[in-house]
Amino acid sequence: MKQLLVLGAGTAGTMAVNKLRPRLPADEWAITIVDSKPEHVYQPGFLFIPFGTYRPEEIVKPKAQLITAGVDLVMGEVDIVKPDESVVVLADGRELAYDQLIIATGTHPRRDQTEGLDGESYGKTVHDFYTLEGATRLGEVLDSWEGGRLVLNIVEMPIKCRVAPLEFMFLADSFFAERGMRDKVELVYVTPLDGAFTKPVAAKYLGDMLEQRDIALETDFMTMEVDGERSMLVSYDDREVPFDLLVTVPVNMGADFVERSGLGDELNHVEVDKHTFLSDHHDNIFALGDASNIPASKAGSVAHFAVDVFVDNFLQHIHGHPMTHQFDGHANCFIESGHGKGLLIDFNYDVEPLPGKFPLPGIGPFSLLKETEANHWGKLMFKWTYWNVLLPGRDLPIAAQMSMAGKDLRAGNAASDPLVGASS
Ligand X SMILES: Cc1cc2nc3c(=O)[nH]c(=O)nc-3n(C[C@H](O)[C@H](O)[C@H](O)COP(=O)(O)OP(=O)(O)OC[C@H]3O[C@@H](n4cnc5c(N)ncnc54)[C@H](O)[C@@H]3O)c2cc1C
Which of 18, 32, 43, 174 contacts ligand X by CB under 6 A?
A: 43
Burial 216-238 (b: 16+ CB within 10 A, else e): ebbeebebbbbbbeebbbbbeee
User: CA-CA distances (angstroms) from residue 92 to 13, 66, 75, 255?
Assistant: 22, 25, 11, 17
Please say which residue, 207 or 254, places its beta carbon nearer to ligand X. Answer: 254
Q: Give yes or no for residue 133 binding ligand X (CB under 6 A).
A: no
Q: Which is nearer to ligand X, 188 or 255 (CB)?
A: 255
Site for ligand X in 319-348 (CB under 6 A): 333
Residue type, 350: D
The residue among 342 and 412 lying less far from ligand X, judged by its C-beta, is 342
Q: Quick check: 130 binds ligand X (CB under 6 A)?
A: yes
Q: Residue 384 CB, nearest distance to ligand X (Å)?
A: 13
Q: Return the sign of the alpha-carbon dihedral for residues 43, 49, 50, 53.
A: positive
Spatial separation of the C-alpha atoms in residues 117 and 410, rounded to whole Å: 43
Among 103, 299, 345, 391, binds ligand X (CB under 6 A): 299
Per CB under 6 A, the list member of 18, 86, 105, 248 interacting with ligand X is 105
Distance, in Å, from the CA atom of 14 to the CA atom of 30, rounded to the nearest integer, reads: 15
What is the Cα–Cα distance from 164 to 46, expressed in whole angstroms? 9
Residue 58 within binding range of ligand X, rule CB under 6 A:
no
| Cβ closest to ligand X, residue 259 vs residue 312 | 259
Cβ neighbours for 419, distance < 8 A, ≥ 6 positions apart: 350, 351, 352, 412
Smallest gap from Cβ 6 to ligand X, in A, equals 10
The reply to whether 106 sits near ligand X by the rule CB under 6 A is yes
Spell 293-328 as b/e; 16+ CB within 10 A means b: bbebbbbbbbbbbbbbbbbebbeebbeeeebebebb
Strands 251-254 and 107-110: antiparallel
Which residue number, 131 or 409, has a Cβ lying nearer to ligand X? 131
Q: Does 152 bind ligand X (CB under 6 A)?
A: no
Distance in Å, CB of 26 to ligand X, minimum: 24
Distance CA 411, CA 370 (A): 13
Q: Using CA atoms, how far apart are residues 195 and 108, in angstroms rounded to an integer?
A: 24
Q: Which of 4, 47, 203, 285 binds ligand X (CB under 6 A)?
A: 47
Q: Which stretch binds ligand X (CB under 6 A): 187-195, 228-236, 287-295, 310-318?
A: 287-295
**From the list 290, 328, 346, 371, which residue makes contact with ligand X (rule: CB under 6 A)?**
290
Residue 155 as a binder of ligand X (CB under 6 A): the answer is no
State which of residues 19, 21, 33, 46 lies at the interface with ligand X (CB under 6 A): 46
Q: Determine the Cα–Cα distance for residues 42 and 63; give it in Å rounded to an integer.
A: 11
Residue 255 binds to ligand X (criterion: CB under 6 A): yes
List, in sequence order, every residue forming a beta bridge with 285; answer none if it has no partner. 101
Candidate list 175, 257, 310, 347; residue touching ligand X; CB under 6 A = 257
Is the distance from CB of 34 to CB of 9 less than 8 angstroms? yes
Q: Which stretch binds ligand X (CB under 6 A): 157-165, 176-184, 219-227, 305-313?
A: 157-165
400 binds ligand X (CB under 6 A): no
Interface residue list for ligand X (CB under 6 A): 8-13, 34-37, 43-44, 46-47, 77-78, 104-106, 129-130, 160-161, 164, 255, 257, 289-291, 298-301, 303, 333
